[in-house]
């Protein structure tokens, strides 16, 4: 895991963490749901506001991909309530932390928020099994095994992100 510098946690409201992938039906919903559940388990649900977005608008209003929902279910999470959204400049500006699932999302987000600086990070920078600049692969064109593998990767990364944020969230 790389030494990623994170933005300060606001003291007067929850930290706004937004995950971003391509269509907001596979990877970013997984990350949103896992972080929400893991933050709640650590007693931090009231200190962090979590959402997810896509860089494209193809799936706006749709639920998560059925394979995403199935992978989440196999891991003990409920993904049935998710509805896809497309990020815009306002949403990007309102986020305290934008978490991209791959480098193409980093580029898209820099276009929406050129001043993002440390507020824009790549999720796998927090994965102890990654070298810090690896992408979370898009499982969309794959089968259930790849969705499970991606979810495991996201879960490790989200736990690393939460470990990095937790001290500031508790202060």
Out of 74-78, 112-116, 131-135, 166-170, the most confident range is 74-78
Write the CATH number of the domain with boundaries 15-165: 3.40.50.2300
Q: Is 68 a residue whose pLDDT tops 70?
A: yes
Query: What average pLDDT score do residues 119-148 get?
Result: 94
Strand order in the sheet with 15-21: 48-54, 15-21, 97-100, 120-122
User: What are the tokens at 88?
Assistant: 């815009």
Per-residue pLDDT band at 62 (split at 50, 70, 90): very high
Question: How confident is the model at residue 171, as a pLDDT?
Answer: 83
For residue 16, is it left (φ>0), alpha (ψ between -120 and 50) or beta?
Answer: beta
39, 162 contact by CB (below 8 A): yes
pLDDT more than 90, % of the chain = 88
Q: 118-132 pLDDT, tens per residue?
A: 899 999 999 999 986
Model pLDDT, residue 16: 96
- Look at residue 7 and tell me whether its pLDDT is greater than 60: yes
The CB-side HSE value for 113 (13 A sphere, CA atoms) comes to 24
User: Would you list the DSSP string of 67-123?
Assistant: HHHHHHHHTT---TT----B--HHHHHH-SEEEESSHHHHHHHHHH-TT-GGGEEEG
Is residue 37's pLDDT more than 60? yes
Closest among 50, 46, 19, 38 to 169, alpha carbons compared: 46
pLDDT, one tens digit per residue, over 79-124 is 999 999 999 999 999 999 999 999 999 999 999 999 999 899 999 9
Distance CA 88, CA 59 (A): 15
Residue 1 has pLDDT above 50, yes or no: no
Q: What's this model's pTM, rounded to 2 decimal places? A: 0.95
Mean pLDDT of the chain: 94
Residues above pLDDT 70, as percent of the chain = 97
Which are the catalytic amino acids? 21, 27, 138
pLDDT at 3: 61
CA nearest neighbour of 37 among 86, 73, 91, 83:
73
């Amino acid at each position: 895991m790389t030494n990623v510098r994170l933005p300060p946690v606001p003291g007067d409201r929850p930290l706004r963490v937004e995950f971003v992938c391509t269509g907001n039906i596979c990877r970013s919903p997984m990350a949103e749901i896992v972080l929400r559940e893991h933050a709640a388990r650590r007693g931090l649900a009231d200190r962090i506001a979590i959402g997810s977005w896509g860089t494209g608008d193809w799936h706006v209003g749709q639920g998560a991909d059925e394979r995403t929902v199935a992978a989440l279910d196999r891991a003990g999470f409920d993904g049935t309530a998710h509805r896809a959204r497309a990020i815009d400049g306002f949403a990007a500006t309102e986020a305290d932390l934008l978490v991209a699932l791959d480098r193409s999302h980093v580029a898209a987000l820099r276009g929406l928020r050129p001043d993002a600086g440390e507020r824009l990070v790549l999720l796998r920078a927090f994965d102890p099994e990654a070298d810090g600049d690896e992408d979370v692969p898009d499982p969309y064109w794959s089968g259930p095994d790849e969705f499970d593998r991606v979810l495991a990767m996201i879960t490790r990364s989200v736990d690393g992100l939460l470990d990095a944020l937790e001290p500031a969230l508790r202060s």
